[in-house]
């Protein structure tokens, strides 16, 4: 098993990224309840029980086989501490060149305010310090909002399609 980094509390200009734990499940079930959120990412709104089970697995920090590092943060507004979504990364090591598959989900009522970009930017800056050198994101081809976030993070479209989603990629510089 690899010695994966552990999610740390992170602050951005308007946001606080809080490492995920099981206690977040009930609060996040409300944030993730709008069915329109799943238009491009698939699935349905999770129940608090489903999130409790998911967060118990995710908060371990690695996959069961130890081949992937799992880092997840709840995104909170600094002004009122309200949870508004999450950012996450799966860290993969290939030939000692760590890659990170990143994702972001912000509750529908908070869309259009730049929160996904701000939270993801902060996570990416932290990943860079952890010596991750490649970012990957998988985005539905019609999800223009996520594509805009990816562009702002410096990712570029590749020709790779995985499960109907376009692979975006960026090499990080030190």
**Tens of pLDDT, residues 84-133:** 999 999 999 765 678 999 999 999 999 999 999 999 999 999 999 998 99
- Please give the structure tokens belonging to residue 10: 């992170």
Q: Taking a C-beta distance cutoff of 8 angstroms, is the pair 51, 73 a contact?
A: no
Q: Say how far apart CA 45 and CA 92 lie, in whole Å.
A: 28
Sheet containing strand 156-162, edge to edge, reads: 10-11, 15-19, 68-77, 83-94, 97-106, 134-139, 165-171, 156-162
Q: Work out the percent of the chain whose per-residue pLDDT is above 70.
A: 97
pTM over 0.85: yes
Q: Say how far apart CA 6 and CA 20 lie, in whole Å.
A: 11
């Amino acid at each position: 098993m690899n010695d994966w980094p552990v999610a740390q509390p992170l602050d951005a200009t308007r946001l606080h990224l809080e490492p995920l734990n099981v206690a977040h499940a009930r609060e996040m079930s409300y944030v993730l309840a709008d069915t329109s959120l799943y238009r491009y990412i698939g699935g349905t709104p999770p129940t608090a029980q489903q999130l409790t089970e998911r967060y118990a697995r995710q908060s371990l920090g690695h996959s069961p086989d130890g081949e992937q590092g799992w880092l997840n943060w709840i995104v909170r507004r600094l002004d009122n501490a309200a949870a508004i979504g999450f950012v996450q990364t799966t860290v993969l090591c290939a030939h000692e060149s760590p890659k990170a598959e990143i994702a972001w989900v912000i509750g529908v009522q908070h869309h259009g305010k730049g929160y996904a970009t701000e939270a993801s930017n902060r996570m990416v800056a932290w990943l860079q310090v952890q010596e991750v050198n490649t970012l990957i994101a998988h985005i539905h081809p019609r999800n223009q909002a996520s594509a805009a976030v990816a562009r702002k993070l410096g990712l570029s479209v590749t020709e790779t399609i995985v499960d109907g989603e376009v692979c975006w990629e960026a090499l990080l510089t030190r």
